[in-house]
Amino acid sequence: MDLLAKEGTIQKTDGGFLVRVRGKSYVKDLPGVECENPRAQEERRVYRKLFTKKRIYMAGEYDRAVQEILRGTDVIVLGMNGYSDLSPEKCALWGVRPGAYEQACIGILKMLHKTLNAKFKDIDIRFADGASAATGGGVDWAIIQAARDLNCQHLGHSCPKFMFYVLDDEDPVYVAETQVDYANAFIDSLDILVAANGRMQAFRHDIMAVFEKLKYLIPVNVLKSLSTNGGMPAMDSNGNIEDAVATYEQRVHLIGQRIIQSSADPYSDLVANICNEAVGIVRPLLSPVRAYGNIAS
């Protein structure tokens, strides 16, 4: 296998951590990306990005990363997946204002944090995210913004070819060797996954979380709650998944689904349902004193 072309590579150097990939021209305009051989044919061009500030845990250091960032007494780790980027054209097509999806995701995470803290005294909420915030939008950007606003610890998860979408800041990130390893690590890190739409990668995460990792899943059709025209179809004309949560809705009856669809304020009702479900999920995960004997007033 041509690792540099398929997965990319990362290595520690004297100057920091260097990620490299070959033939992925779509990364060339991302922040901090350089081409090593611009005169070569496109498929032979190697793109690189040097991280000098980022706190990076390499493959083989996953347990240390989780122990240092995501573990503690009565810690609950929330994760969210969904769309990595929504272009203005897609927003117009799906009847959603640009930026609304990201802000809605932030709102959900903040309300979850507020509700759980109001219900359980001194609970420690932390976040797992996909780290890809370089485009200034998408679900990973939303999680990171929520974590910063709430002053919560969070651990990013990535792989070499996705590190081109990661900003060189001081936020910690675990970098798995491959995309599959990255997906596994992300799910392993969290307690509750909020599935906020997304395409095939998000769909695979959802299935993995429930049936392979035995994690708690809350599917949330954020786009539909925001859309003025019903949002996007579950699948395109070729049968490819366009909306992971809409696909669930077509095949699994979600409690409260009909109520939300007929609501005058679907987003508000959606958030209330999410928070109510989260409280029930979290209680048995906490120590008995916090779950039953130390309820926040």
Which residues are CB-neighbours of 194 under 8 A, at least 6 positions away? Answer: 78, 79, 80, 81, 108, 109, 112, 218, 220, 274
At 123-135, the pLDDT tens digits run: 999 999 999 999 9
The CA–CA distances, whole Å, from 226 to 47, 231, 243, 265, 270 equal: 38, 8, 14, 9, 11
What residue type is 243 in one-letter code? D
C-alpha closest to that of 192 among 114, 271, 78: 78
Query: Which phi and psi (to 5°) does residue 175 adopt?
Result: -115, 105
- Amino acid sitting at position 17: F
Taking all residues of the chain, what is their mean pLDDT, rounded to a whole number? 90
CA-atom Rg of the chain in angstroms: 20
Each residue's pLDDT expressed in tens, for the chain with a length of 297 residues: 689 999 999 999 999 999 999 999 999 999 999 999 999 999 999 999 999 999 999 999 999 999 999 999 999 999 999 999 888 998 998 899 999 999 999 999 999 999 999 999 889 999 999 999 999 999 999 999 999 999 999 999 999 999 999 999 999 999 999 999 999 999 999 999 999 988 887 777 777 787 889 999 998 889 888 999 877 677 777 777 787 777 767 666 554 544 455 567 888 888 988 999 999 999 999 999 888 876 655
CA–CA dist 103, 141 (Å, integer): 10
What is the predicted pLDDT for the residue at 259? 46
Task: Kindly list the strands in the beta sheet with 9-13, ordered across the sheet, starting from the edge strand earlier in the chain.
Answer: 9-13, 16-22, 46-51, 33-35
Instruction: Express each pLDDT in 81-118 by its tens digit.
Output: 999 988 899 899 889 999 999 999 999 999 999 999 99
Contacts of residue 117, Cβ cutoff 8 Å, sequence gap at least 6: 123, 125, 296
- Return the number of other C-beta atoms located less than 10 Å from residue 188's C-beta: 15
Residue 66 is predicted with a pLDDT of: 98
Rounded distance between C-alpha atoms, residue 174 and residue 59, angstroms:
7
> Distance (Å, rounded) from C-alpha 97 to C-alpha 227?
8
Beta bridge partners of 49: 19, 33
85 and 135 Cβ atoms separated by less than 8 Å: yes
Percent of the chain clearing pLDDT 70 (strictly above): 93
Q: 41-56: per-residue pLDDT in tens?
A: 999 999 999 999 999 9
